[in-house]
Amino acid sequence: MHNTAVKKTNSFALRLNRTFVYIVCVFLALLSIMPFWIMFVNATRSTPEIQSGISLLPSGHLMRNLEVLVGKSFDPITGFINSFTVSAGTTICAIYFSSLTAYALVVYNWRFRQPFFTFIVLIMLIPAQASAVGFYQFMYKIGWTNSFLPLILPAIASPAIVFFMRQYLLGALHYEIVESARVDGSGEFATFNRIILPIMAPALATQSIFVFVGSWNNLFMPLILLTQKEKYTLPIMVNLLRGDIYKTEYGSIYLGLSLTALPLFVIYFLLSRYIIEGVALGSVKE
C-alpha cells in the first residue's frame, strides 16, 4: 500500500518533470531553428520586403536574388570548392594528427610523455590573437599568401583536439588490442591506421563536425591571406556582398549566406548519427 502510493506520486512527479523538460527543449529547439528559418525565408524575399521587417513566410524573389548574386561576381562553385578544400584539409590534418598524438600519449610509455601532455594542456591556453601578428608577418615573408597551406597546416597542432582524443582513448582503447596486433606482426604505424582509427570513429566524427564548422565559417585569416579572387572562400564572398556601400542587396546577401550554410547542413546531417549516439570520454577505466 505504502509502496504503491510512493510510486504513484513518483510517477506523477516524473510526468510533471518530463513535461517541463519537453517544454524547455522545444523552446530551445525553436530558438535554434528560428535564425536559420529567417535566413532561408529572407533569401526568397526582396530587399524592401526584408527592410520592412521580419517574416516567417517565404516570398517569391528567389530567382531575382540569385541573379543579383551571380551578377556580383559571387561564384558559388569556386567558393564552394575553395571552402571545401580548406575545411576538409583542416579537418583531416587536425583529426588525423591529433589522434596520432593522442595515441602516442596513451599507448606508449616514452620518456617525455607526461611533460609533453602538460605542455599540450599549456599551449591550449594560447589565444590565437597572441600569435596573429607574428603569424601574419611570417606568412608574408615566406610568400604564402594566396595559398591554402597557411590555413590548413597549422591545424596539425590542435592541442584541444589532442586533449579530447586522449580522453576518448583512455576509455575506449583496450591495451590488449594493441598487443594482439603486435603478435600478428603489424607495424606500429599500421596498427594505428588499421585498428585504432576505426575504434576512434565516433570521436573522429564528432570532432570532425566541430573542426569543419569552425573552419568553414572562418573569415578573419582567409580574408587577410587570400587576395586573389580565384582563392576566395564562401564567407569572403558573402562579406564582399555586404561591402557594396551604395546599396545593400539584403535578399542576395541572405541567399549567399544560405548557400554558404547548405553544404554545412549536408555534412552535419550525414555525421549526425554520431552526435545522436554520442561518444564516451572516459577518464576512469574499468
Partner 1 sequence: MKRTLALITAIIMLASLLAACGGGKKENNAGSGSNGGNTSTTTNSGGSSGGSGGSGEKITINLWSFTDEIPKMTEKYLELNPDLNVEFNSTIISTTDNAYQPALDQALAAGGKDAPDIYAAEAAFVLKYTQGDMSDFAAGYADLGITEDMVKEAGIAEYTIDIGTKDGELKALGYQATGGAFIYRRSIAQDVFGTDDPNAIKNEIGPGWDKFFEAAEKLKQKGYAIVSGDGDIWHSIENSSDKGWIVDGKLYIDPKREEFIDLSKRLKDNGYHNDTQDWTEAWYADMRGEGPKPVFGFFGPAWLINYVIGQHAPDTAGDWAVTEPPVGFFWGGTWVLANKEVLKDEAKKQVVADFIRWVTVDTSDNGLQYLWANGLMNENGTKDTVASSVVMAKSNGELDFLGGQNMFDVFVPANQFASGKNLTQYDQSINDIWRAQVREYTAGNKSRDQAIADFKNQVRDELGIDSE
Partner 2 sequence: MRRRSISYSRYGFLFCLPFILAFLVFSLYPILYTAFIGFTDLKGVATKEFHVLDDPFENFKNLLFDNDLFRNSLLNTAIIWIINFIPQLGIALLLTAWFTNRRLKIRGQGGFKILFYMPNMITAGTIAVLFSSLFAYPMGPVNSLYQMLGWSDEPINFLLDKWTARGIVSFIQYWMWYGHTMLILIAGVMGINPTLYEAAEIDGANGWQQFTKITLPSLRTIMLYILITSMIGGLQMFDIPLLFQNGGPDNATYTASMFIYAQAFKGQYLYNRAAAASMILFVIAAVLSAILFYLLRDRDAARLKREERRIRKAAAKGGVMNA
199 binds, among partner 2, partner 1, none (CB under 5 to 8 A by kind): none
**Residue partners of 72: CB distance under 8 A and separation at least 6:** 240, 241, 244, 249, 252
d(CA 49, CA 234): 25
Determine, following the binding rule CB under 8 A, whether residue 119 of this chain makes contact with partner 1. Answer: no
Instruction: Identify the residue among 74, 148, 164, 232 touching partner 2 (CB under 8 A).
Output: 164
Element (H, E) at 207: helix 201-216
Element (H, E) at 103: helix 76-107
Q: Is residue 80 within 8 Å of residue 230, measured between CB atoms? A: no
**139-143 LR contacts (CB < 8 Å, sep 24+):** 139/225
Q: Which is nearer to partner 2, 104 or 195 (CB)?
A: 104
Q: Which is nearer to partner 1, 153 or 195 (CB)?
A: 153
d(CA 135, CA 114): 29
Binding segment for partner 1 (CB under 8 A), chosen from 31-39, 135-143, 167-175, 182-190, is: 135-143
Determine, following the binding rule CB under 8 A, whether residue 242 of this chain makes contact with partner 1. Answer: yes
CB of 21 to partner 2, least distance (A): 5
User: Max alpha carbon distance in the chain (Å)?
Assistant: 82
Instruction: Identify the residue among 55, 146, 180, 272 touching partner 1 (CB under 8 A).
Output: 146
Q: Which of residues 13-52 bind partner 1 (CB under 8 A)?
A: 47-48, 51-52
Q: Is residue 227 within 8 Å of residue 139, measured between CB atoms? A: no
Q: Which is nearer to partner 2, 70 or 124 (CB)?
A: 124
Determine, following the binding rule CB under 8 A, whether residue 144 of this chain makes contact with partner 1. Answer: yes
Determine, following the binding rule CB under 8 A, whether residue 236 of this chain makes contact with partner 2. Answer: no
Instruction: Identify the residue among 62, 78, 85, 171 touching partner 2 (CB under 8 A).
Output: 171
Here the cell at position 94 is 587536425
Residue ranges in contact with partner 1 by CB under 8 A: 47-48, 51-52, 72-73, 136, 140, 142-150, 153, 223-224, 227-231, 239-240, 242-247
